[in-house]
Amino acid sequence: MARRPISADIPETAFPETGHNHGSCETTLLERASRVFETKGMKLTDLRKRVLEEIAASHEALGAYEILARLSNKGPRLAPISVYRAIDALHEAGLVHRLESRNAFFACHAAHAPERDQVILSCEKCGRVAEIGGEEVFAAMRVVVEKAQFEARRIVTEVSGTCASCRVGH
């Protein structure tokens, strides 16, 4: 079988253009959230929705504490544990992902299969995070890991650097 070139399904830039209509990113994600929770027989509770809205407000990653602080600024104080549980539920539902290197969460705007092998790109300048399919990268990782007679449970690939928008004019 002919090998697909690595760049075959990677878009020109995984990051949306600055100044894009982010409102539509948010609406799409919230609609997806209602569907996902309904399918799971779970509720998109008011708190889960508010937490998701907070994370989805940008393409940046937010720490759990930051999410809690932002929500508390807008209304009555919330118990940290309930906010952390809401984040967990959203994370499990695949609506937000964890940026492991910063222990922060970012919204999934890419409606991909839940088990897709992901390469996470994190821009050091604008703080935005994007995800791309990394099938070939993970396949290569598994080969290397198996050679070492190690059984992989989870592979994390995160790349930090500069997105195309941030490189313009530099």
Biggest distance spanned by C-alpha atoms of the chain: 59
Q: Which of 25, 30, 36, 57 binds Zn ion (CB under 5 A)?
A: 25
Q: Which range touches Zn ion (CB under 5 A), out of 9-17, 38-46, 75-83, 141-149?
A: 9-17
Whole-angstrom distance, CA of residue 84 vs CA of residue 71: 12
- By CB under 5 A, is residue 32 in contact with Zn ion? no
Stretch 102-121: interaction string toward Zn ion, x if CB under 5 A: ------x-x-----------
By DSSP bridging, strand 118-123 and strand 62-63 are: unpaired
> 64 vs 107, which CB is nearer to Zn ion?
107
Q: How many residues bind Zn ion (CB under 5 A)?
A: 11
Q: Which of 55, 123, 129, 130 binds Zn ion (CB under 5 A)?
A: 123
**Cα–Cα distance list, 1 to 4, 7, 53, 70 (Å):** 9, 17, 44, 51
Q: Shortest distance, CB of residue 41 to Zn ion, whole angstroms? A: 22
User: What DSSP designation does 132 have?
Assistant: E
Whole-angstrom distance, CA of residue 139 vs CA of residue 5: 14
Q: Which of 125, 152, 156, 160 binds Zn ion (CB under 5 A)?
A: 125
Q: Which range touches Zn ion (CB under 5 A), out of 30-38, 68-76, 132-140, 155-163?
A: 155-163
67, 110 contact by CB (below 8 A) = no
